[in-house]
Structure 1
Amino acid sequence: MNKTLATLTLVVTLAFAAAPLVSGDFAGFASDQLPVPQIDPPIQPAGYAFAIWGPIYLWLVASAIYGYLRRPDDPEWDRARVPLCISLGAGIPWLIIAQISAVWASVTIVIMLGGALVALDRAPTVRRWWLRAPVALYAGWLTAATFVSLGVTLAGYGILLDGYGWAIVGVIGALAVTIATYARTPSPIYVGAVIWALVAICVTNGTTNFVVTSLAITGIVILLCVMAVWAPRNA
């Protein structure tokens, strides 16, 4: 019995979940990290939305423990474990990186998202609540968080658009990736995490940035319709 990947996944997952205890919470890029300071960027969800990390950490840890004990050498689990370890491994130092460099934080979170999406695609549907579901929640939030990071960073360097413009582009980009991912790997939990972020973006912008709020609401409706029309048998 070869437990190498199961052991690695457990160790990396525990390190990923423990990382905030070492590096502290992240409340957004500091003003001195960006040439054009971003104060309350419209692409950033309301603070309460980040509480989703609690369930993500707990579910991923439970998944890793279950996999180590009950699926230590399952080839289907192993196919998902490799990209998941890449994603979580990149995520271990992310909070520290984000406090130092917005650019490298954005590069790192793109790597995290790529690994998470591949892991979701490879995760088996059998006993999906033990692997596919927690990875879907993680990947869904990362989809939104990646575009938040990119939007704030690009606006912070004054590239092409301001924060308002990149908020619009970011919401559209997140929707495009979400729909494309759902088309390949239907998972309501994945879409639900993105909707959670979109609702929080609405809360952030309210009627002040009406276009961003309207776009986020439209995105929520589109995603709900996509799930309703394209309902999967296995989540």
Structure 2
Amino acid sequence: MSAETRQTLWAMAALIAALAFAASPFLSNGFNGFEPGQFPVPQDDPAVQPAGYAFSIWGLIYLWLIAGTAFGLWRRRDEEDWAPARPWLTLSLLIGAAWIPAANVSVPLATVMIWAMLGTALMALFRVGDEDRIWQLSPVAIYAGWLTAASSVSIGLVLGGYGLLPETPAALVALVIALAVALTVQYRLHRAPEYGLTVIWALVAVILSNAQPFNIAVAGLAAIGIAAILALRGTDTE
């Protein structure tokens, strides 16, 4: 098999995976968050959970991933600049296509899967090329940024929902994990501001969800995280 044929097949696989990922909410029962009863300690309004509006970003993620992978197949299917990220992105999206059914059945399984999605998405992000930024880098950066927040939220829900920590400490642990990942990635990948901005989107939603009643510890740490990400944007690390 020639290199050009192999690259074309990966371009096709990436688009198919993006379509499957976007179709998964419609081909399953959908997902509106974990049900409180899925946990031994019901999570009715956990401090770690962002405000509901923040999840609307999934629409943008689905559409941009489809558009980006479609452009890649149509115009850049055999471009070397696009090749390194495609296998990792395809794997992440295929895991994501199965995530909603898993989340409706098992919180621990869904947590493992979303961390696998994040890991493979970050592998793709670090391998994204320099060409066609709006189609190649931007959708992957936003996808990875939201997964950074979502995977950390899942840790907080497991810690609180399985009685390992009280609600606020569980949320603080989750935020520390999210910020450790986000700051490391943004420091090493300065050319992807969309990643950090997406994490900020999630952090703002965490602050708003903890406004009434005001949880100063969780909201304060989220605010510190926003400031830290913005401070990194003021440096040049590449």
Q: TM-score range by the shorter chain?
A: over 0.9
Q: Is 1:125 the equivalent of 2:135?
A: no
Given the alignment, which residue of 51, 54, 59 partners 1:49?
A: 54
Partner of 2:235: 229
Matched, 1:188 2:193: yes
Say how many residue pairs are matched.
231
**Alpha-carbon distance, 1:231 to partner:** 7.0
Which among 172, 175, 179 is matched to residue 176 of structure 2?
Answer: 172
44-53 or 183-192: which moved more? 183-192
Q: What is the DSSP-based 3-state SS (H/G/I as helix, E as strand, rest coil) of the residue aligned with 2:226? A: helix
* In structure 1, C-alpha distance between the alignment counterparts of 2:205 and 2:77, rounded to whole Å: 38
Instruction: Give 1:209 deviation, angstroms.
Output: 1.1
CA contact (8 A) 2:152 2:174 kept: yes
RMSD: 1.3
Does residue 1:218 correspond to 2:224, yes or no? yes
Q: Does 1:67 align with 2:72?
A: yes
SS in 2 for 1:108: helix
Q: Distance in 2 between matches of 1:39 and 1:231?
A: 41
Deviations 1:60-115 (A, max 9, x none): 00001101011112233121001101110100011111110000000000000001
SS in 2 for 1:35: coil
Partner of 1:208: 214
Gaps of 5+ in 1: none
The structure 2 residue matched to 1:28, chosen from 11, 29, 33, is 33
State the alpha-carbon separation in 1 of the partners of residues 33 and 118 from structure 2. Answer: 18
Which residue does 1:19 correspond to in 2? 24
Gaps spanning 5+ residues in structure 2: where?
Answer: none
Shift of 1:37: 0.9
Task: Write the deviation string for residues 142-171 of structure 1: whole angstroms up to 9, x where unpaired.
Answer: 000000011101211112x12211111111
3-state SS, counterpart of residue 79 of structure 1: coil
Distance 2:229 2:87 in 1: 29
Distance 1:23 1:230 in 2: 44
Identity over aligned pairs, percent: 45
